[in-house]
Amino acid sequence: MSEKQHEIRLTVNGTDHDVAVPARRLLSDALRHDLGLTGTHVGCEHGVCGACTVLVDGQPMRSCLMFAVTAAGHDITTVEGLARPDGELGPVQQAFRECHGLQCGFCTPGFLTTITAGIAENPEPTEDEARDMIAGNLCRCTGYQNIVKAVCRAAELARDDRTPEGGAA
Ligand code: FES
Ligand code: FES
């Protein structure tokens, strides 16, 4: 017997997508397979590695632990939505580039989304706070030092974005 499909609307990076999914389709699978947004990576598939992290109403969520039907009606942001409207790198992406915060890049989408939410909540993190911010994300390659630097640099770039040119912070 074929599985019952549920018609849902997923709002991802500001665009509505109408899809039909089984009740148990993971959000990570819906993003990658139904919507073709393969920037969200899947590592462990059980909530440990953080590679699949997306923002749901601005909060970091592991998309491998959430059903797509649960995400309907919420604003989802994936790594594809972190660039600036003109296509230039967003502050967290730019910081990763400047600070060499990635090697193979598999973990990177999850770090970028996590840090985007983290610096929105704490716009001036100390190095210790930066480490706490990324404590739930695993990276096999970098040793984390440059990612911590990238958190602080991303916060600085985001603050510059919010400061009107020539004005005070
Ligand atoms: S794939 Fe979701 S936390 Fe690892
Ligand atoms: S850059 Fe390779 S896993 Fe993080």
C-alpha distance from residue 123 to each of 33, 91, 130 (Å): 34, 12, 11
Give which of 161, 58, 16, 145 is closest to 7, Cα–Cα. Answer: 16
Q: What are the pLDDT digits (tens) for 8-19? A: 999 999 999 999
- Output the residue whose Cα is nearest ligand 1's atom 3: 47
Backbone angles phi, psi at 122, to 5 degrees: -130, 90
Average pLDDT for residues 38-57, to the nearest whole number?
A: 98
Ligand nearest to the CA of 64: 1
Most ligand 1 atoms within 8 A of CB, residue of 27, 32, 49, 137 to mutate: 49
Interval between CA 43 and ligand 2 midpoint (Å): 11
Determine if ligand 2 sits within 6 Å of the CB of residue 100.
no
Q: What are the pLDDT digits (tens) for 74-97? A: 999 999 999 999 999 999 999 999
Cα–Cα dist 10/131, whole Å: 32
* Average pLDDT along the chain: 95
- Output the residue whose Cα is nearest ligand 2's atom 2: 104
